[in-house]
Amino acid sequence: MDKKGAFKVAEKFQAFLENLTVEHNDFIVDTFRAITRHMNNNYWGYRSDSKNASFIGSYGRGTAIKGVSNINILFELPPRVQKRLEVWHQKAPRVLIEEVRELIEDIFPMVQLSDHCHIIIPSLHKLQFEIIPAFPLKKSHIYPDLKNITGWSTFHPLREIEVMENSNYRYSGKTKHLARMMRAWRAEHQVPISGMLLDTLVVTFMDEWENNDTAFGYYGIMGRDFLEYLAGRRKNQAMYYAQGSNRELPSTEDFGAYANEDFKLASQAVEHEQNENHYEANQIWKQIYGPLFPDIKQIL
């Protein structure tokens, strides 16, 4: 592909990533600050709107795209709260959940508990915020989990974010870009793969990809090669492990079959780009990535 062709590919994928940008970011941040300020005032005795709280999940990892509906917020509680709850023994996790729900209700009356007793705030713009109260351990957090027989589970969401950030820095932003592109592909084709597993495989792929030092002109090839990578995963592998936390990521369906079909299409699109058939390539890219991939007239 000559420089002119690479430039046109670069423009397409830059525009695509702009189209994938999460909407209502100001609203999301303002809601986060309101929750954090209220929780800090009640549990820590000061009104900081940033301390002791973190975005986690896809939004926290920076891999969410337009249309994301769940915003997960981790809030760290002081050790004295854990000590206070000890008198409740096995009921302690539920007591904590109800306590936090009632506290959040002061500022968000619509707060509710999900079927699994997760603290959910349904909100504007089809968003819902999930508040996860947790106690920090040495390298992880413990949080109330009523699906667990003990009532508590441990997780390492901040470590998962750290791994994503490190990979994204190492590869000049391509890790998050690829993860977002693949979320668009997953949504368009309803691919049976979780967001965390997708992110984990993206991080692993970027370490192995021979073109990981390239720029936007190679993004078509990057997407094609990742689809080939996914297609090569063993369809009988029922369990993967998250980068950074090593938590179990079950995979019960064959996402590789979906990837294989679109790898074939992506190969055709790359060939069209290399032959300067940019319109034909664009039609295929839209078939792979869906309506958020830009129309050719927006670019050329």
Helix axis angle for 174-189 and 219-231, nearest 10°, is: 60
Q: In this structure, are 178 and 276 located in the same domain?
A: yes
What type of residue sits at position 196? M
| Band (249; pLDDT cuts 50, 70, 90) | very high
Q: In this structure, are 33 and 14 located in the same domain?
A: no
Helix axis angle for 174-189 and 157-170, nearest 10°, is: 110
- CATH number of the domain that 100 lies in? 3.30.460.90
Q: In this structure, are 253 and 131 located in the same domain?
A: no
Tell me the three state secondary structure of residue 113. Answer: strand
Q: Which of 104, 124, 155 is the last residue of a domain?
A: 155
Q: Please spell the DSSP secondary structure of 151-167, one letter per residue.
A: SEEEE-HHHHHHHHHHH
Q: In this structure, are 144 and 256 located in the same domain?
A: no
| Band (117; pLDDT cuts 50, 70, 90) | confident
Would you state the pLDDT for residue 223?
A: 98
Over residues 160-172, mean pLDDT = 97
Would you state the pLDDT for residue 296?
A: 74
Separate counts of helices (H) and strands (E) for the chain = 11, 9
Q: In this structure, are 34 and 17 located in the same domain?
A: no
Contact partners, residue 218, CB within 8 Å, separation at least 6: 6, 9, 211
On the 0-12 / 13-18 / 19+ scale of CB atoms within 10 A, 24 is middle
Which residues make beta-bridge pairs with 206?
Answer: none
Tokens 């079927």, located at residue: 115
Q: What is the dihedral of CA 284, 288, 292, 298, to 10 degrees?
A: -20
On the 0-12 / 13-18 / 19+ scale of CB atoms within 10 A, 182 is buried
Q: Which of 155, 185, 200 is the last residue of a domain?
A: 155
Looking at 32-41, 110-119, 128-137, 216-225, which range is the least confident one? 110-119
Token output for 24: 């209502």
Token output for 170: 């190492």
Would you state the pLDDT for residue 202?
A: 98
| Band (162; pLDDT cuts 50, 70, 90) | very high
- In degrees and rounded to multiples of 5, residue 152 shows phi and psi of -135, 150
**273-284 burial, b for 16+ CB within 10 Å, e for fewer?**
bbeeebeebbeb
Over residues 164-179, mean pLDDT = 98
Contact partners, residue 98, CB within 8 Å, separation at least 6: none
Q: Is residue 4 predicted with pLDDT exceeding 60?
A: no
Tokens 């999900």, located at residue: 114
> Residue 168: left if φ>0, alpha if ψ -120 to 50, beta else—which one?
alpha
Q: Is residue 6 predicted with pLDDT exceeding 70?
A: no
| Band (13; pLDDT cuts 50, 70, 90) | very high
Q: In this structure, are 169 and 197 located in the same domain?
A: yes
Domain of 184?
Answer: 3-21+160-298
Question: What does pLDDT average to over the chain?
Answer: 94
Look at the chain and report how many structural domains it folds into.
Answer: 2
Would you state the pLDDT for residue 300?
A: 56
Q: In this structure, are 41 and 81 located in the same domain?
A: yes
Radius of gyration of the chain (CA): 22
Tokens 């309803």, located at residue: 190
Q: In this structure, are 36 and 144 located in the same domain?
A: yes
Q: In this structure, are 125 and 70 located in the same domain?
A: yes
Q: Which of 155, 190, 216 is the last residue of a domain?
A: 155
* Interval 210-231: pLDDT, tens: 999 999 999 999 999 999 999 9
* Interval 261-297: pLDDT, tens: 999 999 999 999 999 999 999 999 999 999 999 987 6
Nearest to 277 by CA among 223, 208, 210, 220: 220
* Interval 14-27: pLDDT, tens: 999 999 999 999 99
Distances (CA, A) of 81 to 41, 43, 99, 185: 14, 8, 11, 43
Q: What is the dihedral of CA 236, 161, 55, 58, to 10 degrees?
A: -40
Tokens 């974010």, located at residue: 161
Q: Residue 205 gets which letter from DSSP?
A: H
- In degrees and rounded to multiples of 5, residue 250 shows phi and psi of -65, 145
Q: In this structure, are 144 and 188 located in the same domain?
A: no
264 vs 124 pLDDT, higher one: 264
Q: In this structure, are 100 and 190 located in the same domain?
A: no
| H-helix or E-strand spanning residue 207 | helix 195-208
Q: In this structure, are 149 and 188 located in the same domain?
A: no
